[in-house]
Amino acid sequence: MEKLQQQLNYHFKDLSLLKLALTHRSVGKKNNERLEFLGDSILGLIISRELYKRFTHVEEGKLSRLRSHLVRGQTLAQFGVKLNLADILILGSGELKSGGYRRESIQADAVEAIFGAILLDSDFETINTVILDLFKDLLDGINPNDSLKDPKTQLQEYLQKRNNTLPKYELIKTVGKDHNAVFTVKCFLTDQDIQVNQDAKSIKRAEQSCAQILLDKLKGKK
């Protein structure tokens, strides 16, 4: 956790908050879901404010698409890899056996939970600095004129251009209820015999993760 704090350029006054942020629901009732809820909210606010300040003439719809592109689960999971969260996530025995520390959704949720923990441990300006430092390269490289099509749309267009069968999405499992539910979605390409499963806190997010993985696989094949 010391290395993680160095990478974030923030050291916790209350280290138990960071430990809680790294604790997956599979461990028990004391887990990072509430911190994730808080972190998701503060991340959306900070990125929204930054986009508003940077792109003064961009209309609301495009700002929303820019924000969605920046804070999507895949981006957060990439930060999780960059921060080496797999080495320090606290998981229940079932998730450990199934390799949950490698799962994108778990890493993405932990990143949001860390943001929530930093907010509680400090103040708004501190978490604002941490998040903007982390997102600096992405913010500097974003172009409001890009189409920013979501992975499902990109995958569909990629397949259509090559006259391939379109993907099929199927909800195969739901664990938990209401706001605590985790959805597992299967996406498969029948004519290419490829399929992937992804889980997330929403069906839409799970579908987008599946589509991105398939898109990467297909482009890697070429």
Active-site entry in 95, 104, 109, 112: 112
Higher-confidence residue: 8 or 65?
A: 8
Q: Do domains 2-141 and 151-221 have the same CATH topology?
A: no
Q: What's the mean per-residue pLDDT of the chain?
A: 91
Amino acid 149: pLDDT: 78
Token code pair at residue 15: 């280290």
- Mean of the pLDDT values across residues 42-53? 97
3-state secondary structure of 144: coil
Lowest mean pLDDT among 20-24, 47-51, 124-128, 156-160: 156-160
Cα 29 to Cα 40: distance, rounded to the nearest angstrom: 20
Amino acid 182: pLDDT: 86
- Band of the pLDDT at 147, cuts 50, 70, 90? low
- Band of the pLDDT at 222, cuts 50, 70, 90? very low
Amino acid 221: pLDDT: 55
Amino acid 108: pLDDT: 93
Can 112 be counted among the known catalytic residues? Answer: yes
Instruction: Report domain extents, the chain.
Output: 2-141, 151-221
- Mean of the pLDDT values across residues 169-184? 86
Token code pair at residue 89: 């996530």
- Mean of the pLDDT values across residues 81-91? 94
Token code pair at residue 215: 């898109």
Q: What is the pLDDT of residues 11-20, one digit of tens each?
A: 999 999 999 9
Active-site entry in 33, 36, 40, 50: 40
Sorted by sequence, the CB contacts under 8 Å of residue 106 that are 6+ apart come out as 24, 89, 91, 95, 100
Domain 151-221 is found in CATH 3.40.50.300: no
pTM of structure: 0.78
User: Is the per-residue pLDDT at 1 higher than 70?
Assistant: yes
Q: How many CB atoms lie within 10 A of CB 20?
A: 20
Domain covering 2-141, topology: Ribonuclease iii, N-terminal Endonuclease Domain; Chain A (1.10.1520)
Can 216 be counted among the known catalytic residues? Answer: no
